[in-house]
Copies of this chain bind each other. A is one copy, B any other.
Amino acid sequence: MDGIASSTVLASRWLADFGAALEARDLRQAGSMLAADCCWRDLLSFTWNIVTVEGPEAIERMLGATLAEARPSRWSLLGEASAADGIVEAWFEFETAAARGLGHLRLKDGRCRTLLTTAKELKGFEERRGAARERGVEHGVVRDRRSWLERKTEEEARLGHDTQPYCVIVGGGQGGIALAARLKQLAVPTIVLERNARAGDSWRNRYKSLCLHDPVWYDHMPYLPFPDHWPVFTPKDQLGDWLEMYVKVMGLNYWSGSHCRSARFDAARGEWEVAVERAGQRILLRPRHLVLATGMSGVPKLPEIPGAAGFRGEQHHSSRFESGERHAGKTCVVVGSNNSAHDIAADLWEHGADVTMIQRSSTMVAKSETLMEFSSGRLYSEAALQRGIGTEKADLMVASIPYRLLPEVQRPIVAALKARDAALYDRLAKAGFMLDFGEDDTGLFLKYLRRGSGYYIDVGASELVARGDIKLKSGVTVARIGERSVICSDGTELPAELIVYATGYGSMNGWAAELISQEVADKVGKCWGIGSGTAYDPGPWEGELRNMWKPTRQEALWFHGGNLAQSRFYSQFLAMQLKARMEGLPTPVYGLPEVHHRE
């Protein structure tokens, strides 16, 4: 028997035995099939939650609590298993009482090291696509037939006025749009509230030189992938146009130019009161569920610096920077050293400004090219496509690695980056730039998950920093602002006509504080981060991103967001959770975490 065949037999047998143990509700038997450090990541199928359960004991507890409702069955391997470095990997299908599921397992020495179980679709509430798509025309003849346009126009006119949406999504960027598209396919009546005039404006309104930092293969929206000629790094206005088109052809109820003023949960009625201002009109929406999709970055953080009020030049947060065009010849200070700081500093330099970057703490720099080669490119690239790994499969492969194991996966990648771009890192260090690669050398992706900051994906600005074209003042903080200068903590005074504060964003629950109440924001607690105990991501260990795409401590309040890939992938699970609730399916949530941090 060759390696693939014997791995397949092994995986198949393990799966059958494990399935049998679960069907017999024999927790000890199931537990005995797991490695001592087993991580089981479940996306809805057992827990109606997004949760990673670690170790056989905790897993047995989880099974004890969920098996009676989940009633898993029909475990069956998908395709062949594979083996490398003593690990056997395989994909499988299964069912629960409510859903059809897709899973992935890794076995080591015959026991399970990692298990992923995901709900793929709710039985009886499948999306209508492929052979099950709608007809579009009612064949036959029908008196007073109403056309697609008439039905659509009427539905749009009624929704939010005569009829209430089941769900309101605040924020119509890629996150809100992806989720609304999923909900539309599941026939969950939804309104997206977007304060900008047009879908896509959240991208159009950003600084002129912005392009996506991730490549196209990583950035597809659900259902309607970018065409094959789409550029590798989408310029922001082109992405804006794409999103605007997407909203239209996906038939979303997208209220642009609509401000969500406040929201209040009426526990007695089990519904929200969402106050909206739309085209000068005040509308009170009463959805059953409220999703905040206002950007995983949360509210812009503008540091309070003595003297700032007296500054005679122009100053604003990076989120409001548009273009270096107006600043040719001016003296500019960019506070911060992450992605936006670099992009903005480069944009200013390209337009002929005199730019100084203030680096307050060390930064991870990774060249975009190198990242594509060593990191995203393995799963999201033309080469991956050639190997049969499309976006959906790649997403599941990423999901199959528990957060607990990410550091060991990422460290060799970081080592490879360091070696490949040693010359650049050397020159940056010589220019005084404070580099890091994560506290534990786990690199950019973990920084993103832990704190959502602390890195620059280099698309050119590092060269300017290394050359000294972008001047650098590092290892200081801003002590105060003069009338025409920035005074650093070491006493250095930097003349300034423009100050850009690329000082990041707060946690997403800041939006809950703004829109709902501080009380609800505190009840829900910090969003994002996994409890790694590293900077800006305090413990205890959570095992999953806090509050994202899953039930929170506030009934009927949800947070959705992340980059395009996360918005694409997790929107399907958030949509399924909402659909299940709308249809009245039992959705007992297992493992709702304690709230340890309020901000």
Q: Chain A interface (Cβ within 8 Å of chain B)?
A: 127-131, 133-137, 139-145, 147-150, 152, 185, 208-209, 211-212, 216, 223-224, 227-235, 237-238, 241-242, 244-245, 248-250, 346-347, 349-352, 368-369, 382-383, 385, 459-461, 463-464, 469
> Which B residues are CB-close (under 8 A) to A383?
131
Query: Roughly how many angstroms separate A137 CA and B214 CA in the complex, as a whole number?
Result: 11
The one of B130, B144, B145, B232 that contacts A134, using a Cβ cutoff of 8 Å: B232
> Which B residues are CB-close (under 8 A) to A238?
136, 148-149
For the complex of A and B, the 4 pairs showing the least CB-CB separation, nearest first, are: A136-B231, A148-B235, A137-B211, A149-B237
> Which B residues are CB-close (under 8 A) to A141?
346, 349-350, 460-461, 463-464, 469
Query: Roughly how many angstroms separate A148 CA and B369 CA in the complex, as a whole number?
Result: 20
Given A350-B143, A352-B143, verify A235-B131 contact (CB < 8 Å): no
Q: How far is the CB of A94 from chain B (nearest CB, A)?
A: 23
> Which B residues are CB-close (under 8 A) to A232?
133-137
> Which B residues are CB-close (under 8 A) to A351?
143-144
Q: Are A139 and B460 in contact (CB under 8 A)?
A: yes
Query: Roughly how many angstroms separate A349 CA and B230 CA in the complex, as a whole number?
Result: 47
Q: Are A463 and B133 in contact (CB under 8 A)?
A: no
> Which B residues are CB-close (under 8 A) to A136?
211-212, 216, 230-235, 238
In the complex, residue of chain B having the shortest beta-carbon distance to the beta carbon of A146: B208
Q: How far is the CB of A550 from chain B (nearest CB, A)?
A: 26
18 contacts between A and B (CB under 8 A): A130-B385, A131-B382, A133-B230, A133-B232, A136-B232, A136-B234, A136-B235, A136-B238, A137-B235, A139-B369, A141-B464, A145-B347, A147-B237, A150-B208, A152-B237, A223-B227, A223-B228, A227-B250
Q: How far is the CB of A239 from chain B (nearest CB, A)?
A: 10
> Which B residues are CB-close (under 8 A) to A144?
350-352
Q: Are A241 and B248 in contact (CB under 8 A)?
A: yes
Query: Roughly how many angstroms separate A385 CA and B130 CA in the complex, as a whole number?
Result: 10
Q: How far is the CB of A391 from chain B (nearest CB, A)?
A: 14
Given A228-B129, A350-B143, verify A135-B223 contact (CB < 8 Å): no
Which of the listed residues A347, A385, A459 has the most CB atoms from chain B within 10 Å of its own CB?
A459
Which of the listed residues A133, A351, A382, A460 has the most CB atoms from chain B within 10 Å of its own CB?
A133
Query: Roughly how many angstroms separate A129 CA and B241 CA in the complex, as a whole number?
Result: 20
Question: Known pairs A127-B229, A136-B211, A241-B249. 4 more at Cβ < 8 A?
Answer: A144-B350, A148-B235, A227-B249, A244-B248
Q: Are B229 and A133 in contact (CB under 8 A)?
A: yes
Query: Roughly how many angstroms separate A241 CA and B149 CA in the complex, as a whole number?
Result: 11
Query: Roughly how many angstroms separate A161 CA and B274 CA in the complex, as a whole number?
Result: 50
Q: Are B242 and A133 in contact (CB under 8 A)?
A: no
> Which B residues are CB-close (under 8 A) to A382?
130-131
Query: Roughly how many angstroms separate A135 CA and B148 CA in the complex, as a whole number?
Result: 39
In the complex, residue of chain B having the shortest beta-carbon distance to the beta carbon of A235: B148
The one of B129, B212, B223, B350 that contacts A142, using a Cβ cutoff of 8 Å: B350
Query: Roughly how many angstroms separate A119 CA and B432 CA in the complex, as a whole number?
Result: 57
Query: Roughly how many angstroms separate A351 CA and B142 CA in the complex, as a whole number?
Result: 9
> Which B residues are CB-close (under 8 A) to A143?
350-352
Which of the listed residues A232, A249, A351 has the most CB atoms from chain B within 10 Å of its own CB?
A249
Q: Are B145 and A231 in contact (CB under 8 A)?
A: no
Query: Roughly how many angstroms separate A354 CA and B329 CA in the complex, as a whole number?
Result: 76
In the complex, residue of chain B having the shortest beta-carbon distance to the beta carbon of A128: B229
Q: Are B135 and A233 in contact (CB under 8 A)?
A: yes
> Which B residues are CB-close (under 8 A) to A223?
227-229
Query: Roughly how many angstroms separate A368 CA and B135 CA in the complex, as a whole number?
Result: 12
> Which B residues are CB-close (under 8 A) to A142?
350
Which of the listed residues A147, A209, A382, A469 has the most CB atoms from chain B within 10 Å of its own CB?
A147
